[in-house]
């Protein structure tokens, strides 16, 4: 055990580097506990239940994209029986019209960069 000192110093440096993000954020003190999207709409019903939309809206949008582009299907029937046009711009953004306060709020919190706006025209912000 001639190198015990070097090993201990190496372990301490390793643990400091690995745990750096945790203690740095804790020391800063501005850790967001959750995203707070602003929903401004008169609409009472979304195309799917809220819990599903929070967790899996990207799956629904990908399915819509595939159905519209590859199969030509343009109408979505919700569990409630209500019909919606499969359109990010005309269905989703009608209710969630303020992209920066709704979409970006959660996407920034989750650290994701969706590619929706690679094809779709980014909506102008609606001032409420």
Tokens of 51: 């819990």
Lowest model confidence (mean pLDDT) among 69-73, 101-105, 119-123: 119-123
pLDDT of 90 above 70: yes
Q: Any idea where the domains of the chain sit in the sequence?
A: 1-29, 50-119
C-alpha 22: how far from chain center: 22
Give tens-digit pLDDT for 46-86: 899 989 998 999 999 999 999 999 999 999 999 889 999 99
Helix (H, G, I), strand (E, B) or coil at 38: coil
With a CB cutoff of 8 Å and minimum separation 6, the contacts of 105 are 35, 36, 37, 38
């Amino acid at each position: 055990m001639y190198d015990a000192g070097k090993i201990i110093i190496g372990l301490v440096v390793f643990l400091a580097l690995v745990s750096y993000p945790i203690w740095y954020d804790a020391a800063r003190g501005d850790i967001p506990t959750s995203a707070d999207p602003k929903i401004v709409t008169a609409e009472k019903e979304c195309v799917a239940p809220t819990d599903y939309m929070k967790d899996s809206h990207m799956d629904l949008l990908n399915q819509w994209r595939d159905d519209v582009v590859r199969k030509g299907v343009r109408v979505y029937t919700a569990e409630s029986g209500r019909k919606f046009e499969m359109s990010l711009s005309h269905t989703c953004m009608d209710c969630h019209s303020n992209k920066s306060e709704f979409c970006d709020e959660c996407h920034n919190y989750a650290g994701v960069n969706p590619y929706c706006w690679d094809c779709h025209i980014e909506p102008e912000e609606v001032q409420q």
